[in-house]
Amino acid sequence: MLSAALSTAGRSIFVLGALVCTVNTCEGMASYTLTPTTEGMQLKTPQGKIVFEYKTKIPANLQSPSAAYFDPVNTPSGERVSNAAPDDHPWHRGIFLGILNSEFRTPVDTSKLPPNHLVGAFNVKRADFWAWGLYAPRDNRIIKNRDIQLINANEKHAELEIRNDWLVDGQKMVEETDNVAVAEVDHVYVIDLTYRIAPVVDFVLSQTAFGGFAFQAQKYGDSYYSNASGKVDLPSPHYSLPDSDWPSEPWYDYCIKLKSDGKLVGVAVLDHPMNPPTRWHNVLWMVNPCITSFGPLTIHPDQPLILRYRVVVHDGVTPTDLLQKLSVEWRGMKKEPFTDRQGKGEQN
């Protein structure tokens, strides 16, 4: 079982070295490795295949103030299924987390105000970390990587920790800490992602049809979406109409027959029941479980938001039976309170 493979490993910490971070088992067998590149860090299997690269620097073709995303994300056969900076949406970026329309509410210092001052006043800074810039400013709204480490690895799995700061005009407004677990199971890559979003002041997310966690996939070739019931035949959601989003489901899969070589590849995103209520904005070759589709959401400094997603990257047609199995396992996991290596424990 994948859950056993990901949960029984020891919690020894291995700090990323200057050149290559490699963790071996006590028997000396090869393990997953984390290797620097010119734009980030690559995670490789014990056989040397690239699972993904995590970008910490902005490539020249990306029209976004932020990097902090996974691309390329490859299938076990080595086909790239993710996409960054597509020609029609050049701010989209592989696997990424970006809040579209939001504001930070900093309480007003009332110590110098007259006795009859208003209660609960605050200053507002608006921000778009999705990087579209239509509903809120994106300039000087930057998700900046602070650290990425391989904290546990052997020949069967890898665990990473990623730390990012969300900055508005140079001021840190959010601490993001991500736990990433990776394994190859039944010829697919399974990537479990847990995000901890901890703002310094109230962080108000407006109702939007899209935003949050997204997987931007390849676009050149015949493609389709599916879920446990088969191929989905629903109208495409509209960016301005949250009610047009697709119904809540445990998972949606996207498959595409690549024009480049005719191979069929795909990716599924599996939701978790501990996430906020979700509808799906699956359009533009993207899989996007949107937590703001039903309404606005406020994240308080003393109650960080925890988001959990399982990504399954595969070759060939939608592996429905396997996705059902992995989804049942994922949704049934007794998720422990999120704890980073500094001992901060939180759970939404």
- pLDDT tens for 30-50 read 999 999 999 999 999 999 999
Q: What is the pLDDT of residue 111?
A: 74
Confidence of residue 113 (pLDDT cuts 50, 70, 90): confident
Instruction: Specify the amino acid at residue 170.
Output: G
CA atoms within 13 A on the CB side of 172: 13
Give the Cα separation of 129 and 135 in Å (integer).
11
Q: What is the pLDDT of residue 261?
A: 94
Instruction: Specify the amino acid at residue 18.
Output: A
Confidence of residue 29 (pLDDT cuts 50, 70, 90): confident
Percent of the chain with pLDDT over 90: 83
Q: Is residue 244 classed as helix, strand or coil in its secondary structure? A: helix
Mean of the per-residue pLDDT values for the chain? 90
Lookup: tokens for 72:
């390329």
Instruction: Specify the amino acid at residue 178.
Output: D
Indicate if the pLDDT at residue 340 is higher than 90: no
- Higher-confidence position of 29 and 345: 29
Task: Lowest mean pLDDT of 5-14, 117-126, 151-160, 315-324, name the range.
Answer: 5-14
Note the pTM of the prediction, 2 decimals.
Answer: 0.89
Q: What is the pLDDT of residue 126?
A: 98
DSSP 343: -
Q: How many residues does the chain have?
A: 348
Give the Cα separation of 136 and 101 in Å (integer).
6
Q: What is the pLDDT of residue 75?
A: 98
Indicate if the pLDDT at residue 108 is higher than 60: yes
Task: Lowest mean pLDDT of 214-218, 279-283, 334-338, name the range.
Answer: 334-338
Mean pLDDT of 92-102: 98
Sheet with 297-299, strands from edge to edge, namely 122-127, 102-107, 202-205, 297-299
Indicate if the pLDDT at residue 256 is higher than 70: yes
Mean pLDDT of 156-163: 98
Separation of CA 205 from chain center: 17
Q: What is the pLDDT of residue 20?
A: 44
Give the Cα separation of 12 and 180 in Å (integer).
15
Task: Enumerate the H helices of the chain as residue ranges.
Answer: 2-7, 320-332
Indicate if the pLDDT at residue 26 is higher than 60: no
Tens of pLDDT along 259-307?
999 999 999 999 999 999 999 999 999 999 999 999 999 999 999 999 9
Are 34 and 175 contacting, i.e. CB atoms less than 8 angstroms apart?
A: no
Indicate if the pLDDT at residue 12 is higher than 70: no
Lookup: tokens for 19:
């050149």
